Amino acid sequence: MAEHIVTKKQYSYVFGALLLLTFVTTSVGMMDLGRLNVIVALVIAVIKALLVVLFFMHIYWSTKLNKLVVVAGVAWLALLLWLTLTDVLSRGWLPFPGK
């Protein structure tokens, strides 16, 4: 795996994008868009996270093994959220005796 040196100029583009996205998400946060607020805020957060992981943390140029660790970390987090929420959010959907 050859060493990849990312230039300061490339980093500054990523920084600019992150700052812009922070400004956008804050501005949208001040408006009341109903359910859309959550979706916009989380989509922007995920885009920002991707920028940080891929470029600041060099995963874009990293080994397959490191990429796998990132995917595994996110997958376990998804599993945690998914299994918890399928339980919690579906409580009370069906009547059961004794309640």
Partner 1 sequence: MANHSLALRHQFDDVEQQKDASTFGMWIFLATEVLFFGGMFCCYTVYRSAYPAAFGHASNHLDLILGAVSTAVLIFSSFTMACAVNSASTGARNALVAFLGITILFAAAFLVIEMSEWRMLYKEGLMPGFNFTYKEFDPGHVQLFFCMYFAMTGLHASHVTIGIGILAIMAFRAWRGAFGPDYFTPIEISGLYWHFVDLVWIFLFPLYYLIARHLQG
Distance separating alpha carbons of residues 13 and 20, to the nearest angstrom: 11
Burial grade of 9 (CB within 10 A; 0-12, 13-18, 19 or more): exposed
For position 18 contacting partner 1 by CB under 8 A, the verdict is: yes
Distance separating alpha carbons of residues 19 and 21, to the nearest angstrom: 5
Cα dist. 14→39, 51, 83, 97 in Å?
Answer: 23, 7, 34, 56
CB of 73 vs partner 1, minimal distance in Å = 3
Q: Which is nearer to partner 1, 40 or 97 (CB)?
A: 40
CB of 94 vs partner 1, minimal distance in Å = 18
Q: Point out which residues bind partner 1 (CB under 8 A).
A: 1, 3, 5-8, 11-12, 14-15, 18-19, 22-23, 25-26, 28-30, 32-34, 37-38, 41-42, 44-45, 48-49, 52-53, 55-58, 62-63, 65-66, 69-70, 72-74, 76-77, 80-81, 84-85, 88-89
